[in-house]
């Protein structure tokens, strides 16, 4: 018998002062049995950083060739493809062919630089690709905020990111591994 996903509920309040985006969303996150709290919370952080009314979670880890988070325009065209972790470089290249912008939120400490060293010869040429590293301390601290029912506020101001649950706050300083062309 296959294990079922665990359902998490999140009340997410985003104040992205840098982009002028203020959004409150009630989200349901299905955490695949193989997904960790750390990955789920980095996925939630990426969602907050791209907050938009049309932003949606993808079908999850069990669906290949699909993003973790997706933004489509009103015609259904893929505007943003957002993945979390250390995806296969072939999958990232395919995503670059399908979406206007592709974002990878990489986490995992030293394994991020090892992954990038291997993928860089191919992915550095992808003009619409951004690779952002979530430092290991931050992703671990975010995992500590995971709960079946969460009320989180995410504030972005002058490039500084703060995630709070009412009792605890996590500061997240992202590192740009690769910026998309024109940024």
CATH code, domain carrying 135: 3.10.640.10
The answer to whether residue 168 sits within a structural domain is: yes
pTM of the model: 0.94
> How far is 153 from 52, CA to CA, in rounded Å?
15
Express each pLDDT in 58-104 by its tens digit.
Answer: 876 555 678 999 999 999 899 999 999 999 999 999 999 999 999 99
116: number of Cβ within 10 Å: 19
The answer to whether residue 1 sits within a structural domain is: no
The answer to whether residue 183 sits within a structural domain is: no
Listed as own residue / partner, the contacts of 77-80 with beta carbons closer than 8 Å and 24 or more positions apart are 80/50, 80/55
Task: Give 89: exposed, middle or buried? Use CB within 10 Å, 0-12, 13-18, 19+.
Answer: middle
Residue 1 above 70 pLDDT?
Answer: no
The answer to whether residue 23 sits within a structural domain is: yes
Question: Rounded to the nearest 10 degrees, what angle do helices 37-49 and 136-143 cross at?
Answer: 100
The answer to whether residue 28 sits within a structural domain is: yes
The answer to whether residue 113 sits within a structural domain is: yes
Q: What is the mean pLDDT of residues 15-24?
A: 97
**Element spanning 81, H or E:** strand 78-84
The count of domains in the chain is 1
Question: Rounded to the nearest 10 degrees, what angle do helices 110-123 and 89-98 cross at?
Answer: 50
pLDDT for 183: 56
Phi, psi (degrees; rounded to nearest 5) at 37 = -60, -35
**Element spanning 118, H or E:** helix 110-123
Express each pLDDT in 147-183 by its tens digit.
Answer: 999 999 999 999 999 999 999 999 999 999 999 986 5
The answer to whether residue 169 sits within a structural domain is: yes
> How far is 3 from 38, CA to CA, in rounded Å?
19
- HSE-up (13 A, CA, CB side) for residue 77: 8
At residue 175's C-alpha, the angle toward residues 169 and 180, to 5°, is 130
Domain holding 126, by residue range, is: 6-178
The answer to whether residue 52 sits within a structural domain is: yes
**Element spanning 149, H or E:** strand 149-157
Express each pLDDT in 103-147 by its tens digit.
Answer: 999 999 999 999 999 999 999 999 999 999 999 999 999 999 999
């Amino acid at each position: 018998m296959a294990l079922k996903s665990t359902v998490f509920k999140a009340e997410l309040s985003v104040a992205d002062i840098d982009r002028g985006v203020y959004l409150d969303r009630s989200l349901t996150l299905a955490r695949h049995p193989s997904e960790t709290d750390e990955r789920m919370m980095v996925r939630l952080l990426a969602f907050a950083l791209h907050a938009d009314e049309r932003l949606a979670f993808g079908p999850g880890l069990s669906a290949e060739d699909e993003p973790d988070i997706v933004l489509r325009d009103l015609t259904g065209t893929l505007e943003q493809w957002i993945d979390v972790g250390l995806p296969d470089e072939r999958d990232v290249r395919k995503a670059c062919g399908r979406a206007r912008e592709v974002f990878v939120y990489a986490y995992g400490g030293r394994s991020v630089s090892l992954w990038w060293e291997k993928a860089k010869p191919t992915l550095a040429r992808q003009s619409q690709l951004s690779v952002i590293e979530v430092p290991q301390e931050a992703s671990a601290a975010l995992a500590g905020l995971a709960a079946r029912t969460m009320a989180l506020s995410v504030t972005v101001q002058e490039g500084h990111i703060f995630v709070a649950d009412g009792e605890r706050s996590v500061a997240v300083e992202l590192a740009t591994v690769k910026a998309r062309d024109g940024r």
